[in-house]
């Protein structure tokens, strides 16, 4: 299960050689539509951080998708003609237009919801409609359900997968055997609030969900099933997202809890509940424990064990969609919270506390930390933030 990288590489190679590569032209729609759906201009406040045209902006995101789908030699050229925008893609499968068209059609629903939100006076001046652009469109392995993208992913990075949240989770996936270059295929994101906003906006965005219901459910239907008809596993990150799962589909999903939803008739999607990837910094902050460093470390260690177990499940299920979800989860929890709990401890101190490997090894071998390792499975009592 933990040798996901070798399996995914082999499967990706098979997929890439088994399809006809072609030159296709995609009508992206009118200039106003493309402007709306690609958040153009992405980074201008009097002075543009990157002074791209609309065509260059679209090319940028489509090139990201091509690279993350494994079509490293494919090219894209975007042109505008009579207020219509077209993308010509070379070296891609002849059905590559399907997932892109689906994403943009879902984006129309998101724009409709955002417009109504603004009409109702609930849109903030520093929010941006931001669709999950630039991610793998075809060679997806798993789905990540999150709350909202941070504003700097749009305004600074122009990369939906460039954030502290996604970087940390990619690192956990690689720890669980996914090759670094393969992690974007596992990190196909759906944000229930498709709004790039400051990190502090979480609680404000909780009041926007109903405006995006059509977008949310459409995206879940589309993204949890690939072009081959396979159902992909999904991880629901953070309390707001897990609560949304309950509201929308019925099941209650706790941290490391499993549920099944059926967004498409006859297609059961396994869903794992997880902490928000950034929650560990909140949980391990001494200020949230009366400045008690030991209690903060204990909380952080428990969250680290949970996060490694969740990423392990995602890696295992993503590399083998026919695997048993519960058996996979049980094996992952056994690994990270029992068998390899010392490694869990050392990873916490090196990645969260920024200790050296030597310092981490010493801390994880001496009391009181070594005693905490025996309680990694204990439930978290710390309340979650609105991440």
pLDDT 10s digits, 153-188: 999 999 999 999 999 999 999 999 999 999 999 999
Q: Which long-range contacts (CB under 8 A, 24 or more apart) does 338-344 make?
A: 338/376, 338/377, 341/305, 341/373, 341/376, 342/373, 344/301, 344/304, 344/305, 344/308, 344/373, 344/376
pLDDT tier at 293, thresholds 50, 70, 90: very high
379 has pLDDT over 90: no
> Regarding beta strands 188-191 and 84-93, do their DSSP bridges make them parallel or antiparallel, or are they unpaired?
unpaired
More confident residue, 370 or 293: 293
The set of residues, in sequence order, having a beta carbon less than 8 Å from that of 386 and lying 6+ positions away, is 147, 202, 203, 206, 239, 240
Q: What average pLDDT does range 17-22 have in this prediction?
A: 56
Q: What average pLDDT does range 141-160 have in this prediction?
A: 97
Percentage of the chain surpassing pLDDT 90? Answer: 86
Q: Is 137 left (phi over 0), alpha (psi -120 to 50) or beta?
A: alpha
Query: What does the mean pLDDT of the chain come to?
Result: 91
15 has pLDDT over 70: no
The set of residues, in sequence order, having a beta carbon less than 8 Å from that of 45 and lying 6+ positions away, is none
More confident residue, 327 or 373: 327
Instruction: Identify the pLDDT of residue 16.
Output: 44
Instruction: Identify the pLDDT of residue 13.
Output: 42
pLDDT 10s digits, 79-136: 999 999 999 999 999 999 999 999 999 999 999 999 999 999 999 999 999 999 999 9
pLDDT tier at 18, thresholds 50, 70, 90: very low
Block residue for tokens 């995206």: 219
Beta-bridge mates of residue 235: 144, 272
Percentage of the chain surpassing pLDDT 70? Answer: 89
> Regarding beta strands 234-237 and 143-146, do their DSSP bridges make them parallel or antiparallel, or are they unpaired?
parallel
Instruction: Identify the pLDDT of residue 46.
Output: 86
- Taking CA atoms, 101 is separated from 97, 135, 147, in Å, by 6, 14, 23
The model scores a pTM over 0.85: yes
Contact 244, 284 (CB under 8 A): no
Lowest mean pLDDT among 34-43, 109-118, 369-378: 369-378
What is the spatial distance between Cα 209 and Cα 147, in angstroms, rounded to a whole number? Answer: 10
Instruction: Identify the pLDDT of residue 87.
Output: 98
Contact 158, 133 (CB under 8 A): no
- Taking CA atoms, 57 is separated from 31, 62, 68, 85, 374, in Å, by 13, 9, 17, 12, 51
The residue ranges of every structural domain in the chain are: 290-381
């Amino acid at each position: 299960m933990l040798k996901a990288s070798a399996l995914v590489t082999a499967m990706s190679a098979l997929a890439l050689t088994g399809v006809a590569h072609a030159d296709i032209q995609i009508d992206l729609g009118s200039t106003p539509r493309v402007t709306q759906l690609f958040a153009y201009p992405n980074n201008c406040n009097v002075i543009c951080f990157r002074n791209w045209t609309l065509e260059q902006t679209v090319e940028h995101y489509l090139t990201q998708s091509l690279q993350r789908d494994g079509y490293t030699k494919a090219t894209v050229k975007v042109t505008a003609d009579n207020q219509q925008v077209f993308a010509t893609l070379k070296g891609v499968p002849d059905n590559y237009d399907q997932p892109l068209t689906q994403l943009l059609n879902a984006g129309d629903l998101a724009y409709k919801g955002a417009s109504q939100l603004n009409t109702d006076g609930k849109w903030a001046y520093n929010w941006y409609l931001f669709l999950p652009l630039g991610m793998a469109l075809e060679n997806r392995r798993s789905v990540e359900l999150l709350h909202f993208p941070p504003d700097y992913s749009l305004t600074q990075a122009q990369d939906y997968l460039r954030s502290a949240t996604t970087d940390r989770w990619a690192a956990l996936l690689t720890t669980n055997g996914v090759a670094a270059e393969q992690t974007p295929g596992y990190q196909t994101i759906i944000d229930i609030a498709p709004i790039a906003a400051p990190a502090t906006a979480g609680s404000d965005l909780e009041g926007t969900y109903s405006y995006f219901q059509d977008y949310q459910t459409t995206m879940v239907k589309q993204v949890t099933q690939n072009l081959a008809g396979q159902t992909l596993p999904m991880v629901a990150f953070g309390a707001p997202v897990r609560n949304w799962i309950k509201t929308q589909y019925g099941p209650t999903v706790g941290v490391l809890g499993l549920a099944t939803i059926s967004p498409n008739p006859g297609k059961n999607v396994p869903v794992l509940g997880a902490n928000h990837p950034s929650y560990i910094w909140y949980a391990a902050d001494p200020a949230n424990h009366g400045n008690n460093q030991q209690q903060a470390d204990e909380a952080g260690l428990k969250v680290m064990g949970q996060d490694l177990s969740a990423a392990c499940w995602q890696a295992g299920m993503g590399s083998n969609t026919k695997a048993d979800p519960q058996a996979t989860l049980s094996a992952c929890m056994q690994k990270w919270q029992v068998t390899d709990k010392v490694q869990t401890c050392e990873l916490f101190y090196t990645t969260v506390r920024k200790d050296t490997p030597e310092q981490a090894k010493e801390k994880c071998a001496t009391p009181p930390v070594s005693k905490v390792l025996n309680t990694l499975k204990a439930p978290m009592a710390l309340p979650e933030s609105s991440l």
